DNA sequence: GATATATAGATAAAATATCATATATATTTT
DNA sequence: AAAATATATATGATATTTTATCTATATATC
């Protein structure tokens, strides 16, 4: 992500990263977005059977922890895996990519993100 | 660590790993043991200013999540970084090793682990 | 007004720290 | 040698803190 000035920030960043990874829903969301590319909350809402507020909160945690980037276009917010990812976050994504867990089918309603 | 039979176990193992990493005390303990090698709870108690029960519980979590191994000798239990570590846990240890956080001085009272 | 997203408030669930106690082993005393 | 004591570790119970979910509502755009 970025370089750190003090040890406080470095530790906080590490804990924010591991905290984001310590939730089944967020692991599924990361794997799903990594697999399918940029999408909106509403696409996740249609694919996963979860409340919008729940998804929005989890996505915010993934964004704030450096895993996702956002591109807004009108009323849609497209979330995708952030590039570049720092080393450890990338290693985590690769670990999640290798996890043999099943994901729901992608039911996309937003237009493809072209920005 | 080991190979998994079903997706349930694989996800549980991943979450157990990230959960173990999502705690400041455990990150410090991992870094400390990685730096100094095998040691007992009582050494941690002398080095860190923490209650024995607190350290014992955190060490148990690190052991159960695959980061530490234990060798018992009399009334002492020597904990060290488990070998071999699977890829992701090793990457996590390397990340922690690189964290610029300060650690207390090692105040060792147990004899050096020779088993 | 309808849709997409974000967030506040309330509640439930999970994790942590502390106090107290149990267990096992080693050492000292008698 | 047996009994008592000390040491190292583990764990049960409880209070506190943190996190997750849901309901409801707010904000922004079409």
Residues A37-91 have pLDDT tens digits of 999 999 999 999 999 999 999 999 999 999 999 999 999 999 999 999 999 999 9
User: Which residues 38-57 on B are within 7 A of strand C at the CB atom?
Assistant: 50-54, 57
Angle at A10 between CA B51 and CA A70, to 5 degrees: 125
Three-class secondary structure of residue B65 per DSSP: coil
Answer for B65: CB within 7 Å of strand D. no
Model pLDDT, residue A6: 83
Please say if the pLDDT value at position A1 is more than 60.
no
Residue A5 has pLDDT above 70, yes or no: no
Residue A111 pLDDT class (50, 70, 90 cuts): confident
Distance CA A67, CA A85 (A): 7
pLDDT band of residue A114 (cuts 50, 70, 90) is: low
Distance between CA atoms of residues A54 and A60, nearest Å: 10
Residue B39 β-bridge partners: B79
Q: Closest residue to C6 by CA to C1' distance?
A: A56
Contacts of residue A70, Cβ cutoff 8 Å, sequence gap at least 6: A63, A77, A78, A79
Q: Would you write out chain B's pLDDT as a tens digit for each of its 115 residues?
A: 556 668 789 999 999 999 999 999 999 999 999 999 999 999 999 999 999 999 999 999 999 999 999 999 999 999 999 999 999 999 999 999 999 999 999 999 887 766 5
User: What domains does chain B contain, in order, with CATH numbers?
Assistant: 7-96 (1.10.10.10)
How far, in Å, is the CA of A45 from the C1' of nucleotide C2? 17
Minimal CA–CA distance to B23: which of B70, B66, B55?
B55
Exposed/middle/buried for residue B20 (C-beta within 10 Å: 0-12, 13-18, 19+) = buried
In B, residues 12-51, which contact A (CB 8 Å cutoff)?
A: 14-15, 18-19, 21-24, 27
Which of chain A's residues have a Cβ under 8 Å away from the Cβ of B96? 14
B52: CB partners within 8 A, 6+ apart: B41, B42, B45
Tell me the C-alpha to C-alpha distance, in Å, between residue B23 and each of A91, B9, B59. Answer: 19, 22, 12
Per the prediction, chain A carries an average pLDDT of 94
CB contact under 8 A, A96 and B19: no
Per-residue pLDDT for A2 more than 90?
no
Higher pLDDT, A110 or A74: A74
CB–CB of B77/B71 below 8 Å? yes
Chain B residue whose CA is closest to A88: B95
- Cβ distance B91 to A96 less than 8 Å, yes or no, reads no
**pLDDT of B7:** 74
Beta bridge partners of residue A78, listed in sequence order: A71
Distance from CA of A113 to the nearest CA of B (A): 30
Strands B68-73 and A76-81: unpaired
Q: What is the ipTM of this complex?
A: 0.94
Contact criterion met (CB below 8 Å) for A39 and A68: no
Q: For a pLDDT cut of 90, what percent of chain A falls above it?
A: 87
């Amino acid at each position: 992500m970025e370089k750190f000035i003090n040890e406080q920030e470095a530790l906080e960043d590490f804990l924010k990263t591991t905290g984001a990874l310590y939730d089944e829903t967020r692991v599924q969301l990361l794997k799903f977005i990594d697999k399918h590319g940029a999408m909106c909350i509403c696409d996740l809402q249609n694919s996963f059977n979860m409340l919008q507020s729940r998804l929005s909160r989890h996505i915010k945690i993934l964004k704030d922890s450096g895993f996702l980037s956002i591109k807004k276009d009108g009323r849609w917010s497209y979330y995708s895996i952030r590039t570049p990812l720092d080393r450890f976050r990338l290693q985590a994504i690769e670990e999640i990519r290798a996890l043999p867990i099943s994901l729901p089918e992608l039911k996309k309603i937003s237009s493809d993100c072209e920005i």
